[in-house]
Amino acid sequence: MSVFFIADLHLSESRPDITQAFLDFCSSLTCDTQALYILGDFFEYWVGDDDPSLWLNPIKSTLKNIAEQVCPVYFIHGNRDFLIGKTFAKQTGVQLLNEPSIVELNKQRVVILHGDSLCTQDTGYQKYRKIVRNKFIQFIFLRLPLKTRFKIFAKGREQSKEKQQQVMDMQILDVTPQAVSDLMESYQVDLMIHGHTHRPKIHRNARTPSRGTRIVLGDWYTQGSVLEVNDDGFLLNSFPLVEKPDNSRTI
């Protein structure tokens, strides 16, 4: 019995190699898979569940098939796809989770989240995050014409790229150890799983100097990244994409 975690695929029409890698990964899931967790930034951006783009259809149908034929699929919003809503969930069969959420793995309580809320040194982003996660703001945005929403997101992506190019200390874009410790203490857990930073690694002593583990999922820009949890423990895997276009990487 295995549970799988993925994040930061940043699926987009311009990167069919990543989409294909995801579809291939899904086809490898066996009937004894217990669950699939998607921890945000599944898409490069999401302007609303009414997006009619045809390239989304294979992804939606694949998720639906997994949810109905293989295992439950759980989804936590990221900083790129926080507008995924109930319509998408109904179309795909995925179950939307609050952030953070607590799950049980191998009889151990685990806190899971996307991870951007832990980057507390980036105060400008945290202010922006608070605004765009406001339900009233989202209500207004989703009633704009689809074309307008696409333009707003395109401009936002460019501004994000420019900001990251101007950041001198990249640690500002990483999680703050104190934020990690505080969250783990708050939920009384010794294991955290998240994505967002694109820095896959298993960190020890995350809760206190002598306890707690933090597992960071990798992005899918140049390779696939999957965390498998089974009776033997935790295995952070990577695998090559079919193609590797030279696209800039943003979180």
* The predicted structure's pLDDT at residue 4: 98
Whether residue 228 is predicted with pLDDT greater than 50 in this model: the reply is yes
**pLDDT tens, 172-194?**
678 999 999 999 999 999 999 99
How does pLDDT run across 3-35, given as a tens digit for each residue? 999 999 999 999 999 999 999 999 999 989 999
pLDDT for 172: 62
pLDDT of amino acid 168: 47
pTM of the model: 0.92
Within the chain, residue ranges assigned H as helices are 16-27, 57-69, 86-92, 123-132, 135-141, 146-166, 177-187
Q: Where are the domains of the chain?
A: 2-240
Report domain 2-240's class.
alpha beta
